[in-house]
Amino acid sequence: MRVWPAPDYTRIALELDSPLKANQRLLTDPPRLVIEMEGIEADANLRRMLPRISADDPYIAAAQWIAHRPRVSRLVIELKTGVVPQVFLLAPVAAYRHRLVIDLYPSARDDPLRGLLDERTRGQSPQAAPDRLADMPRNQGHADSGGRSSSASRAPQKPSASPRIFTVAIDAGHGGEDPGAIGRNGTREKDVVLAIAQLLHARISAEPGMRGFLTRTGDYFVPLGQRVGKARRARADLFVSIHADAFIEPHARGASVYLLSERGASSSSARWLADRENGADQIGGVNLAQRDRELRKVLLDLSTTAQIRDSSKLAGEVLGALETVGSLHKSQAEQAAFAVLKAPDIPSILVETAFISNPDEERRLGDPAHQAKLADAIFSGIRNYLTRHAAAARGSTI
């Protein structure tokens, strides 16, 4: 059993040798979720498996196993607040056996845009935030190098004397049940990329006229569609997903940058990487029925030509900056059908910072000083893009 608390939800994952039948009941007085499972004995060994519930878990107060009848046990989760539970089974994949997943979502979801607003209005009067949120215009389409809007269907933004603020969604790949690639010495991709993402967030948030938004802030899993959805709800101007590559040959090395393709992958290696990254939902574990509904709401099958054009410019600037830190695996940005890059109205790139499967690069990826250099390089590329290509691009005015 594993527990993964996150700001958006808490996940409990039970890994088993064989599938089981389970059903759930949500009770209200007091609030608790009861999961009844056939084929499990609630003995002392099982009770000892209960992971420690953190006192600051936003949803779970306690959990216990109760023997209901022979070979039927109940997991009773005492709740701190109202939740919307999702309980589903996952077939074996990668290093995992059968899994029963229990996701506890709050009855009312948090708004990432309000979280960003709270960061900027902290210290102001409590009435200031809602007023400014209501007055905030929708982001406009990106402009091309001549200053023309690339999204003609959007209404023009009203002139404002307030300075333009560019929001960058920073996406640390993998997390929680999905460790990503693992180096020979045990370095996990999910840990390295989160550290780099947090450093990049700090660089961006300290820059006047810019703010950063993290799609995940800790060690928990975020489905691919939700990563894109979070960026769109935060009205991000740019989306940067950070990863650490792996390959079957240990000598592969260097950084790469990828963007979305409408016409297939630019190389067989790009296609292979996209397939592997797109498999994160399967490894991290998603409720397929819920995912399909979210994808219909958030993603388009094909992105716009303007999004890919702007993504290419951003990728070129980030590649140039990464070359100052170390070698490049590819000197040109590559393209493939990455699900996490399919926001139709946000220039989006995926940065493979290095090959964690290369022992030398694995060692450097684990070095905080090198992580800081990578974050600085990505930040430099983003800033160069905004300076050279996006002076008239969209942005909010809070």
CATH number of the structural domain 2-106: 2.60.40.3500
pLDDT score recorded for residue 289? 64
Average pLDDT of the residues in 201-225: 96
- Record the tokens describing residue 277, joined without a space: 């990254």
Long-range CB pairs of 56-61 (<8 Å, 24+ gap) are 56/5, 57/3, 57/5, 57/10, 58/5, 58/7, 58/10, 58/106, 59/5, 59/9, 59/10, 59/83, 59/104, 59/106, 60/3, 60/5, 60/10, 60/104
Q: Is the pLDDT of residue 60 over 70?
A: yes
What value does the mean pLDDT of the chain take?
Answer: 83
The pTM score is: 0.80
- Record the tokens describing residue 123, joined without a space: 């210290």
Q: Is the pLDDT of residue 132 over 80?
A: no
Residue carrying structure tokens 């307030």: 162
Of the listed ranges 176-180, 323-327, 340-344, the least confidently predicted one is: 340-344
Of the listed ranges 10-14, 152-156, 181-185, 352-356, the least confidently predicted one is: 152-156
Q: Where in the chain is the domain with CATH 2.60.40.3500?
A: 2-106
* CATH superfamily assigned to domain 135-388: Zn-dependent exopeptidases (3.40.630.40)
Chain Cα centroid distance, residue 159: 33
- Record the tokens describing residue 61, joined without a space: 């107060």
Q: Is the pLDDT of residue 397 over 60?
A: no
pLDDT score recorded for residue 276? 85
Q: Where in the chain is the domain with CATH 3.40.630.40?
A: 135-388
pLDDT score recorded for residue 249? 82
Q: Is the pLDDT of residue 294 over 80?
A: no
Residue 67: other Cβ atoms inside 10 A: 15
Q: Is the pLDDT of residue 100 over 60?
A: yes
Average pLDDT of the residues in 342-363: 94
Q: Is the pLDDT of residue 238 over 90?
A: yes
Average pLDDT of the residues in 121-140: 35
Average pLDDT of the residues in 208-228: 95
pLDDT score recorded for residue 391? 56
Give the containing element (helix H, strand E) for 186.
Answer: none
Of the listed ranges 239-248, 270-279, 291-300, the least confidently predicted one is: 291-300
Rounded Cα–Cα distance for residues 135 and 74 (Å): 49
pLDDT score recorded for residue 378? 98
Interacting residues of 118 by C-beta distance below 8 A, sequence separation 6+ = 129
Computed from CA positions of residues 363, 368, 371, 372, in that sequence, does the dihedral angle turn out positive or negative? Answer: negative
Rounded Cα–Cα distance for residues 258 and 266 (Å): 10
Confidence grade of residue 139 (pLDDT, cut at 50, 70, 90)? very low
Average pLDDT of the residues in 153-173: 70
pLDDT score recorded for residue 157? 47
Q: Is the pLDDT of residue 189 over 70?
A: yes
Q: Is the pLDDT of residue 362 over 50?
A: yes
Q: End-to-end CA distance of the chain: give it in Å, rounded.
A: 44
Q: Is the pLDDT of residue 131 over 60?
A: no
Q: Is the pLDDT of residue 303 over 80?
A: no
Average pLDDT of the residues in 188-212: 97
Q: Is the pLDDT of residue 34 over 70?
A: yes
CB-based contact 220:4 (threshold 8 Å): yes
